[in-house]
A and B are shown apart, each in its own frame.
Chain A
């Protein structure tokens, strides 16, 4: 029983990692007042770039670098459309999602000729698990041993980065000058402008953060959690991350909690596949997979009160005449 719980929690950490990166990418972007529904597209493009470059160069780190570059480029595209030319942020986001889905497919087909997939990555070209010291030796110590060797040890470096990134992001947002300005620009860009700070520069910088984090998320999916790129492999995780962002009310630790909750549901869904619950029968996997969305709608509607978005979100900044 404890074994099962540990394994499920272990899986939760692994499934939550890309959600955390993506949700925090969204947090930076949306805290600055730019809606980002292109998390999904950025992750997908990054996943493809990571797999393709890691395979070609046989270096996971170069793959990560390429993923971040590609993801930042897409974020800048979003920025040019929505910040500089004041386009509709949702439309731009949808366009980037479609662009990423199509481009990864056709580039994959023409470069690797494997039906849109990239070849399998050898272990040297992926981020593999890191075993903590004494993990094997402590495995049989009751409780603590399991926690240490199963839950804490044995993940790849990106998982640890995701969990370290959370307090760092909190610190940047709430303890630095940059964070104060970023939060201000999402609430009232005019206040920022009249204080003599450039709204445009701030928003672009937030999108760069979003780009980096989506790059990490994408790399995790194709070059750490898996060992190749498969078409549409992000499978809506960008949207789940967006749900987690709203569910966590744009605040770092609640967002982390939401990501873990959604990750847990996913891990449980895998566990429950085919098992029969007494009195209920077999639970359709689709139902559990839909849980994050159902939870978001139900909990936001009823229990947790209104999620108040940054006030200036979605509104392009125009200097008043």
Chain B
């Protein structure tokens, strides 16, 4: 008989009208790496929160290492041997590594004794599992990959035999991801059971032994990884066939429509975020900017969209020229056919308490079309929004619904509809598919390619390398505010891009400090 680390039997959980988990059963083989995939809102996080004692299941039972377990809080989960590495790290940034690790497990009322003991245990853990990290370093100063290591050590220090990792690779470079996977394999050899939650099918295929698929709160499949493939998994996740490989005709690049020269941007804390950046985007091509989040992409995008003033250099959209002397706001840029789909759709892209129809004209609301005698024409706006919604498959198709009540994918489609409706010459788009489910990703990517094929120019910023590789004609890599590489998409692969993304080594030493603070922000 197989030994199971975790056995879940018909676990259900309901939040009001939403059935987050419905009769979910799951068996995790002891000492294996078990993947759980599913779209956003499929119930993965709820299930893990139940395992970690954040919520209690309405019905069903859980056994840990063969023993029935009741997990009313995180404390009980830790006692049962379950450790969790959260997607957003649960670290106290101004504390040292050691302080973070002993928090909640100090050993005694005074820190001295506990810390001395913990230091020894930590050293053993570090050598046994090959997880090297300086116990006296301040966590906030560590790069994201190391912070994650601290999270793993924290769980192990508390005696975790089952380690749950929630979307662990979202903030890592490809090299850091490789390191993480090496660590996970090492942990597995030492007998630790690992539960890996992710939406990246490639990672599932690379590292897991078994994989479970969730859809709409239900467990729809439990498979052996060796006997499945990404296409099958994607289909199980979405419930229908998904086109993962998009048709992409060769680019017919035209004139340069966006020219950036020597651009530098300094933020409010006087840190130079974008450092002497130059590039061009031509009509009919998609230029992707790759990089680990927090390396100046956000500031670059905001400067390009007229939301942030430039501190050196120029941005030219045809005859429009942004420089230190002449600032051009988003308003004027929009009129000139430059559209912007911001990175942060909740804070910048939408006004979430307002209705879909109001949001569907945001930024264009001064147009004569929508106004009469200084008053908006709400009926007309609603009709316009309904058309956009049906063209872009925004669901539910209700222009009066508050935009906060749409799912991430539908919010993004609404923004895209608003910006693409004008057939802009240039589209600046940041993280178009962050937190968006596979079905909507497919749709959004198709729309972006459509714009490119009709001769539009697109500047795409994304931390998802797959997305960059799938869409771009040319790829620029940013690291620490500088451009550290440029390749044609045909010649690019993850490895070379990954090296460029972490290319601080051969740059001047002063960049180290600022890259730390950037990573702090990213973390």
Chain A interface (Cβ < 8 Å from any Cβ of B)? 174-181, 183-184, 187-188, 190-197, 311, 319-321
Q: Return 28 A-B CB contacts under 8 Å, by A number.
A: A174-B111, A175-B111, A176-B110, A177-B109, A177-B110, A179-B111, A180-B102, A180-B103, A181-B103, A181-B104, A183-B92, A187-B92, A187-B95, A188-B92, A190-B86, A190-B88, A190-B90, A191-B100, A192-B103, A194-B52, A194-B74, A194-B86, A195-B74, A195-B103, A196-B73, A196-B75, A196-B78, A319-B54
Contact status of A178 and B92, CB under 8 A, knowing A184-B103, A193-B74? no
Q: How far is the CB of A287 from chain B (nearest CB, A)?
A: 33
Partner of A176, one of B15, B75, B111: B111
Q: How far is the CB of A24 from chain B (nearest CB, A)?
A: 20
Task: Find chain A residues with CB under 8 A from B68 CB.
Answer: none
Q: How far is the CB of B107 from chain A (nearest CB, A)?
A: 8
- Residues from 78 to 136 in B contacting A, C-beta threshold 8 Å: 78, 84, 86, 88, 90-95, 99-100, 102-106, 108-112, 114
Partner of A195, one of B105, B108, B110: B105
Q: How far is the CB of A272 from chain B (nearest CB, A)?
A: 39
Inter-chain contact A194/B90, CB cutoff 8 Å: yes
Chain B interface (Cβ < 8 Å from any Cβ of A)? 15, 52, 54, 73-75, 78, 84, 86, 88, 90-95, 99-100, 102-106, 108-112, 114
Task: Find chain A residues with CB under 8 A from B84 CB.
Answer: 194
Q: Which 8 residue pairs of A and B lie closest in terms of their CB atoms, listed nearest first?
A: A195-B104, A196-B75, A191-B90, A177-B106, A196-B74, A194-B90, A187-B92, A184-B92
How many angstroms between the C-alpha atoms of A181 and B103 in the bound complex?
Answer: 7
Q: How far is the CB of A201 from chain B (nearest CB, A)?
A: 13
Task: Find chain B residues with CB under 8 A from A195 CB.
Answer: 74, 90, 103-105
Inter-chain contact A184/B74, CB cutoff 8 Å: no
Contact status of A197 and B104, CB under 8 A, knowing A184-B95, A191-B92, A319-B54? yes
Contact status of A321 and B15, CB under 8 A, knowing A191-B92, A194-B86? yes
How many angstroms between the C-alpha atoms of A53 and B407 in the bound complex?
Answer: 61
Inter-chain contact B111/A180, CB cutoff 8 Å: yes
Inter-chain contact A188/B90, CB cutoff 8 Å: yes
How many angstroms between the C-alpha atoms of A187 and B93 in the bound complex?
Answer: 8
Inter-chain contact A192/B104, CB cutoff 8 Å: yes
Q: How far is the CB of A315 from chain B (nearest CB, A)?
A: 15
Q: How far is the CB of A45 from chain B (nearest CB, A)?
A: 32
Contact status of A180 and B99, CB under 8 A, knowing A191-B91, A311-B93? yes
Inter-chain contact A175/B100, CB cutoff 8 Å: no
Q: How far is the CB of A194 from chain B (nearest CB, A)?
A: 5
Task: Find chain B residues with CB under 8 A from A192 CB.
Answer: 103-104
How many angstroms between the C-alpha atoms of A195 and B105 in the bound complex?
Answer: 8
Q: How far is the CB of B483 from chain A (nearest CB, A)?
A: 31
Q: Which residue of B lies closest to A306 (CB)?
A: B269
Inter-chain contact A177/B91, CB cutoff 8 Å: no
Q: How far is the CB of B480 from chain A (nearest CB, A)?
A: 23
Q: Which residue of B lies closest to A181 (CB)?
A: B103
How many angstroms between the C-alpha atoms of A35 and B90 in the bound complex?
Answer: 22
Q: Which of A193, A196, A311 has the most CB of B within 10 A?
A: A196
Task: Find chain B residues with CB under 8 A from A181 CB.
Answer: 103-104
Q: Which residue of B lies closest to A177 (CB)?
A: B106
How many angstroms between the C-alpha atoms of A174 and B94 in the bound complex?
Answer: 13
Q: Which of A175, A176, A191, A194 has the most CB of B within 10 A?
A: A194
Task: Find chain B residues with CB under 8 A from A175 CB.
Answer: 110-112
Task: Find chain A residues with CB under 8 A from B52 CB.
Answer: 194
Task: Find chain B residues with CB under 8 A from A187 CB.
Answer: 92-95
Task: Find chain A residues with CB under 8 A from B100 CB.
Answer: 191
Q: How far is the CB of A246 from chain B (nearest CB, A)?
A: 17
Task: Find chain B residues with CB under 8 A from A176 CB.
Answer: 109-111
Task: Find chain A residues with CB under 8 A from B90 CB.
Answer: 188, 190-191, 194-195
Task: Find chain B residues with CB under 8 A from A178 CB.
Answer: 109
Q: Which of B54, B88, B90, B99 has the most CB of A within 10 A?
A: B90
Task: Find chain A residues with CB under 8 A from B102 CB.
Answer: 180
Contact status of A177 and B108, CB under 8 A, knowing A187-B92, A187-B93? yes
Task: Find chain A residues with CB under 8 A from B94 CB.
Answer: 183, 187
Q: Which residue of A lies closest to B269 (CB)?
A: A306
Q: Which residue of A lies closest to B76 (CB)?
A: A196
Task: Find chain A residues with CB under 8 A from B112 CB.
Answer: 175
Q: How far is the CB of A184 from chain B (nearest CB, A)?
A: 5
Task: Find chain B residues with CB under 8 A from A179 CB.
Answer: 111
Q: How far is the CB of B489 from chain A (nearest CB, A)?
A: 38
How many angstroms between the C-alpha atoms of A70 and B52 in the bound complex?
Answer: 40
Task: Find chain B residues with CB under 8 A from A196 CB.
Answer: 73-75, 78, 104
Q: How far is the CB of B404 from chain A (nearest CB, A)?
A: 14
How many angstroms between the C-alpha atoms of A196 and B71 in the bound complex?
Answer: 12
Known contacts A180-B95, A180-B103, A190-B86; can you find 14 more A-B pairs with CB under 8 A? A177-B111, A178-B109, A179-B111, A180-B99, A183-B94, A187-B92, A187-B93, A191-B90, A193-B74, A195-B103, A195-B104, A196-B78, A319-B54, A321-B15
How many angstroms between the C-alpha atoms of A320 and B102 in the bound complex?
Answer: 23
Q: How far is the CB of A133 from chain B (nearest CB, A)?
A: 35
Q: How far is the CB of A296 from chain B (nearest CB, A)?
A: 21
Q: How far is the CB of A43 from chain B (nearest CB, A)?
A: 30
How many angstroms between the C-alpha atoms of A183 and B94 in the bound complex?
Answer: 10
How many angstroms between the C-alpha atoms of A321 and B54 in the bound complex?
Answer: 9
How many angstroms between the C-alpha atoms of A24 and B52 in the bound complex?
Answer: 36
Q: Which residue of A lies closest to B112 (CB)?
A: A175
Q: How far is the CB of A114 from chain B (nearest CB, A)?
A: 48
Q: How far is the CB of A172 from chain B (nearest CB, A)?
A: 11
Task: Find chain B residues with CB under 8 A from A183 CB.
Answer: 92, 94-95
Q: How far is the CB of B141 from chain A (nearest CB, A)?
A: 14
How many angstroms between the C-alpha atoms of A264 and B94 in the bound complex?
Answer: 32
Q: How far is the CB of B517 from chain A (nearest CB, A)?
A: 13
Task: Find chain A residues with CB under 8 A from B75 CB.
Answer: 196
How many angstroms between the C-alpha atoms of A183 and B102 in the bound complex?
Answer: 13
Q: Which residue of B lies closest to A185 (CB)?
A: B92
How many angstroms between the C-alpha atoms of A191 and B93 in the bound complex?
Answer: 10
How many angstroms between the C-alpha atoms of A170 and B52 in the bound complex?
Answer: 34
How many angstroms between the C-alpha atoms of A31 and B143 in the bound complex?
Answer: 26
Task: Find chain A residues with CB under 8 A from B109 CB.
Answer: 176-178
Q: Which residue of B lies closest to A320 (CB)?
A: B54
How many angstroms between the C-alpha atoms of A188 and B108 in the bound complex?
Answer: 22
How many angstroms between the C-alpha atoms of A190 and B54 in the bound complex?
Answer: 11
Q: How far is the CB of A290 from chain B (nearest CB, A)?
A: 29
How many angstroms between the C-alpha atoms of A284 and B257 in the bound complex?
Answer: 64
How many angstroms between the C-alpha atoms of A166 and B208 in the bound complex?
Answer: 54
Inter-chain contact B74/A188, CB cutoff 8 Å: no
Task: Find chain A residues with CB under 8 A from B91 CB.
Answer: 188, 191
Task: Find chain A residues with CB under 8 A from B73 CB.
Answer: 196
Q: Which residue of B lies closest to A197 (CB)?
A: B104
